[in-house]
Structure formats: structure tokens, C-alpha cells
Structure 1
């Protein structure tokens, strides 16, 4: 079932199209259609430009999950390291391997400080 896009989702779609879409040109709009880009005027979930859906949308996994799931928009929990979106349906605690590595280093540093007796 289709739902109305939120203001944040519309802004995220616009920024992805303007920055990453190979078919978008500021002067002409959508180059294959020779008109305004379909995705810039999008107000509801449902049908998307095929190029946008297959190539551009995977660049933002949180937006992709929000747009491709049926029903209401899923609530994402924030990553404790960088504040990025973490999918709520998995046991994943961090948004990326880099954040997980950074958290592991921080935990190890605190462990070694306590082991040495240095209290901060």
C-alpha cells in the first residue's frame, strides 16, 4: 500500500538525484525523457524511476529500506558512534563495519585502562 513521503524522505530523494543520478542534468532535467525528472516531484511511495531504484537508491540504505518496505515507515535506531541509521529488525548495533571497529577499539581502550588501574 502506498503512503505519502515525509519531508525528510523527499529531501533525501532530491539530494540523491541531483548528486548521483547520471540521467539528471540541471538545465534539461531527465535526459532520456527530455523533461523534468520524475523523482523530483515524487509525493507517494510506489513506482520509482528504474535507474533511480536500481543504481542511486542503494547508496542510502536507510532511505532504501524506508521506501521499499510495505506499510508504515520503519523506525531506525541511531548508531551510538556516528548517529547514522541502523535497521531495527536486525541484531546489528552499528551502522557500518568502520563504526563497529571504532567501538571495539574504544571498549578495548577502556578495558586496558581499568586493568592498569588508571581511572578516568
Structure 2
């Protein structure tokens, strides 16, 4: 977490609201926060600091830019999305794919496209 509490920007408040209403499994539009049986306090949050534990561990990682702004850990921005399966992962050096299986599948697709281009160019 960041050291000093600060007021949330308008963009951060809107992003939090969008994540809570769209992705939080503990939030219901009619009942609010289901485990606490009250209104979700994250929707009216104005300052950084204490966050709902579920929001911080399960919902906030869905928006890495917001997570980096709120938590203060800009290493979060180094996450990549695998072009084959869409999984989010932390790359090692210049890693493009999340796993060896995705790397093989991506290479196979690239080879297929390259051969198609080659056949097209040799045809005419």
C-alpha cells in the first residue's frame, strides 16, 4: 500500500465503481455487500487506505493500471497478456507467451500465416 493516504481522483472513483458493480462477486445491486449485509463501502470511498480485502485480492487485479495507482506498486504494470490464451502473467525477460504450450501454438499459427502468404505470392 502507499504510505500516505490521499484523495482518490475522479477517474479512480469511477474505475472502482465500475469494477465493483461489474466484477465483484460479493456485490448485489439490491442488497449491497453480501458478506457484510450492508451497502458496499468501496462505492463511496474518497481516500486511499483501507480497502475491502476481497476487492483488493480478487477484483482490483483485473485493472492493473488502477491497482498500480492505488497500491503504489508500479511493478504490477509489467504484467502481460498472452496473445494465444488471454491469460495475464508476469513475464520473465522478453517472454511473449505465458507457457510453453502457448508458445508452440503461437509459433504454429505464425508459420501457417507465413506459408499462406508465401503460397499467395508464388501463385501470381
Q: TM-score, normalised by structure 2?
A: 0.52
Query: Aligned residues, how many?
Result: 114
Aligned pair partner of 2:10 in 2, 6, 14: 6
Aligned pair partner of 2:34 in 31, 34, 38: 31
Unaligned stretches of 5+ residues in structure 1: 71-90, 92-120
- 1:65–1:18 distance in 2 versus 1, CA, 3 Å: closer
Aligned alpha-carbon RMSD (Å) = 4.5
Aligned pair partner of 1:16 in 16, 19, 27: 19
Pairing 1:53–2:56 present: yes
What's the CA shift string for 1:12-42, capped at 9, x where partnerless? 1001001111110000100111111011011
What is the CA distance between 1:51 and its match in structure 2?
A: 0.3
Larger CA Rg, structure 1 vs 2 = 2
Q: TM-score, normalised by structure 1?
A: 0.54
Contact conserved, 2:60 with 2:67, CA < 8 A, in 1? no
